[in-house]
Amino acid sequence: MSHHSWDPERYLTYADERGRPFLDLVARIDATDPQRVVDLGCGPGNLTAILANRWPDADVEGLDSSAEMIEKANAQQVPGIRFEVADLRSWQPMHQVDVLVSNATLQWVPGHLDLLSSLVTRVAPGGWFAFQVPGNFAEPSHVLLHELAADRRFSPHVAGVARPAAHDPQVYLDALLELGCRVDVWETTYLHLLHGDDPVFTWISGTGARPTLQALPDELRDEFVAEYKQLLRDAYVAGPHGTVLPFRRVFAVAQVPA
C-alpha cells in the first residue's frame, strides 16, 4: 500500500460539518467521571478538546498515525491534552482507559472488524468504546473517483492506494455483542449544504480522495482533477442555496462488561 500524508488545513475546511458526527457520538457515552480518555485517530485535535471539556478531570490523550496532524494538534497547545503519533493497530496503553473514542478513523484500517476485540480489551471494565465511520462509499463521490482512477491513463499510478471501507450497522452490532458489550448502534445521513466552487471536490480531496490524488504524477494530476471535478458537478448539481452532499455515517457506542 502506498504512503500518503494528510493536510490538516484542507481537512479543516469543513470543520463544523465534520465535527457534528463527533458531537452526536460523544453525546451517547454515559461515562460520568472517567480518569483516562483517549481519542484514537484524533486528526488535528480540534475535536479532542471537546473530550477535555466534557470530562475536565480526566487525563485526555489524542493519538494519530499522521505526523502532520499531530503537529497541527500540538500547535493548538490545549491545556490538559497530550498529543502523540501512534498507530491504532499496535497501540498499547500503559493502563486500560475508561473512554476510548475513534471518530472517522477505522475505515482507513483494512480488516478493522478484526481489531474490535483487541480495542475492547484496552478499555477498563465498565468503560466505554465509541466509534463512528462513514457509510457513504456507494455514493457518487466515491464511485466516480474509483471509476476514473480505473482509466488506463491513471490506473498504473494508483494501484494499491489506501481506500476506505466500512460495514453496515448490523455487522458492528453483532461483533460488539459477541464481545459481551452493551451496545447502541445507529446510522444517520447528514445533508451538508456546501458553498463555493467545486465544494464536493474540496470536501473529498481532504479525505477519501487524497491518497489517489497524491499517488498521481504531477503531469497527470491536473488532468484527473479537472475530469473528476466535472463528474462531481454533474452528480451534485448546485442549487440556489448551495450544493447538497448527503453523507451517511454509522455509529457504535459499547459499554465493556464490568
| Residue 1 belongs to a domain | no
| Residue 21 belongs to a domain | yes
| Residue 3 belongs to a domain | no
Residue 94 belongs to domain spanning = 8-255
Q: How far is it, in rounded angstroms, from Cα 183 to Cα 174?
A: 9
| Residue 204 belongs to a domain | yes
Q: Cell digits for 32?
A: 460520568
174-109-20-72 Cα dihedral, nearest 10 degrees: 150
φ, ψ (nearest 5 deg) of residue 247: -140, 110
| Residue 226 belongs to a domain | yes
| Residue 36 belongs to a domain | yes
| Residue 2 belongs to a domain | no
41 within 8 A of 13, measured Cβ to Cβ: no
Q: How far is it, in rounded angstroms, from Cα 38 to Cα 78?
A: 15
pLDDT for 17 equals: 77
Q: Cell digits for 110?
A: 483494512
What tens digit of pLDDT does each residue of 47-84 get?
999 999 999 999 999 999 989 889 988 987 777 899 99
CATH number at residue 227: 3.40.50.150
Q: What SS3 state is found at 189?
A: strand
pLDDT for 46 equals: 87
pLDDT for 207 equals: 82
Spell out, as residue ranges, where the chain has pLDDT lower than 50. Answer: 1-13
| Secondary structure element (H or E) that encloses residue 54, with its range | helix 48-54
| Residue 232 belongs to a domain | yes
Number of structural domains (the chain) is 1
